[in-house]
Each structure stands twice: as structure tokens, then as C-alpha cells.
Chains A and B, each alone.
Chain A
Amino acid sequence: AQKVTQAQTEISVVEKEDVTLDCVYETRDTTYYLFWYKQPPSGELVFLIRRNSFDEQNEISGRYSWNFQKSTSSFNFTITASQVVDSAVYFCALSEFVYNQGGKLIFGQGTELSVKP
């Protein structure tokens, strides 16, 4: 069965510190997608990145970077020079595919990031 584990329940950092959010996943599929979402206090899920299992290239988007390693089944997320506005709950998720039934997102438990001024 597919599973996503975010071992860090809460992280607290001071502004301008770098912070890494860990994500480990389990799947028997050879093709899958991994996602990161941000959920601010208002509750909406904000899409950050999608990565498919074929592409292990790391990605950088501004202060955000992602490290995907199939060998360790990890998809970690780093925020460089954190800001107070980065405070939110971050979810890592895995897509499970069933032919002609659509893909389903399986979420990790989330990591609550608090960035203090």
C-alpha cells in the first residue's frame, strides 16, 4: 500500500534560517507523482510542485528547492532564508493510480512550520 511519512510534526525557526522538511514515501508503483502543498491558516491548499517518478532532477524555484531521491524514497523540501510568510502547514503527497478510476492523492501527516521574526 502507498504511504507518505513526514516525521517532523512541527518545526520552529528564526527568520532567515534555512529549513528542510522531510518526506519519505512507500509505493509499489514504478510510475507515480509526488507533490508538495502549502496550507496557510486560511485553509486552502496551495500547490508548490509536482514531480514524476521518471525525473530525479532537483528543482529550484526562488527560495524553494526540492531534492528527489528514488534510492531512498525521499522527496525533501528546503526553504532558504525563511520568512514569516512561510509559516504554514506543508503536506507531501503521493499519487496512486488506478486504471480508469483516476489518480488519488495520499497525504503525509503534514509539518507545521513556524517562522519567527
Chain B
Amino acid sequence: DAMVIQNPRYQVTQFEKPVTLSCSQTLNHNVMYWYQQKSSQAPKLLFHYYDKDFNNEADTPDNFQSRRPNTSFCFLDIRSPGLGDAAMYLCATSRDFGTGRPNYGYTFGSGTRLTVV
């Protein structure tokens, strides 16, 4: 089945040690998103790629970066994780034919739960 896969499911990283989370998709969707969800909060959009174009949210800290080497893969890099970056990170995809409207809705991965020690 076509899907969005996030690895790893659980990630423990050391304080201020760079960490990378990965997301892959078999849906051939042209838009990929990264959301951060802290405990008991709503998912918050960090940034998204529309094809190769990167769109950063205004309040996303510089500590968070992203790479999309091809249509299928997208990475979230946290350069210097702090304790406050512990959260669930959700990757999502959508298909946009240029109208600005996702034609098939959004498909979410199972998430990576990040712990910072």
C-alpha cells in the first residue's frame, strides 16, 4: 500500500547533539510537511516543501532545518536539540495540481517521538 513512512519510530538523542529524522513516501505527492507536536498540544507546522521549493513558517526556530533530495524523501535536521524540542514529529504529504488545494487530502506518517536527554 502507498504510504508515508517515518523512521525511526522512537529517537533518543543527547542534548545539543545533531539529530536527523526521516520521512519517505510512495504516494508521489509533490508537497511534504513537517509538524511538531508537543505533549497535550496541537500539531504545529514547522515548514513544508512544494516540489523543491522550501516554505518556512515565520516562527520556526533556526535550529530546525529540512532537506528534500528527491520527491520521495524528506529529512528534518535539528542542529542542537534542547530539552524543549522533545516532541512527536509528524510528516505529512499532499498532492497539489497547482490550484493550491490538496486534491486527496493529507496523508500522515506514524510519527517519530523524540526524546532529548
* In contact, A102 and B42 (Cβ under 8 angstroms): no
Interchain CA distance A35-B7 in the complex, whole Å? 26
Pick the contact of A104: B30, B45, B108 (CB < 8 A).
B45
Q: Does A91 touch B at the CB level, under 8 Å?
A: yes
* In contact, B102 and A103 (Cβ under 8 angstroms): yes
Number of A-B contacts (CB under 8 A): 76
- Mostly, the B contact residues are strand
Interchain CA distance A98-B100 in the complex, whole Å? 5
* In contact, A43 and B111 (Cβ under 8 angstroms): yes
Size of the B side of the interface (Cβ < 8 Å), in residues, is 30
Interface range for A: 20 to 34
The residue among A91, A100, A103, A107 with the most chain B CB atoms within 10 A of its own CB is A103
Known: A45-B111, A102-B31, A104-B45. 12 other contacts (CB 8 A): A31-B101, A44-B109, A45-B43, A45-B108, A91-B42, A97-B100, A101-B55, A102-B102, A103-B31, A103-B94, A107-B43, A107-B44
Interface residues of B, Cβ cutoff 8 Å to A: 30-31, 33, 41-45, 48, 50, 53, 55, 88, 90, 92, 94, 96, 98-102, 105-111, 113
A-B residue pairs in contact (CB < 8 Å), sample of 20: A35-B105, A43-B110, A45-B43, A47-B106, A50-B105, A91-B43, A99-B99, A101-B53, A101-B100, A102-B94, A103-B102, A104-B33, A105-B33, A105-B45, A105-B92, A106-B45, A107-B43, A107-B44, A108-B42, A109-B41
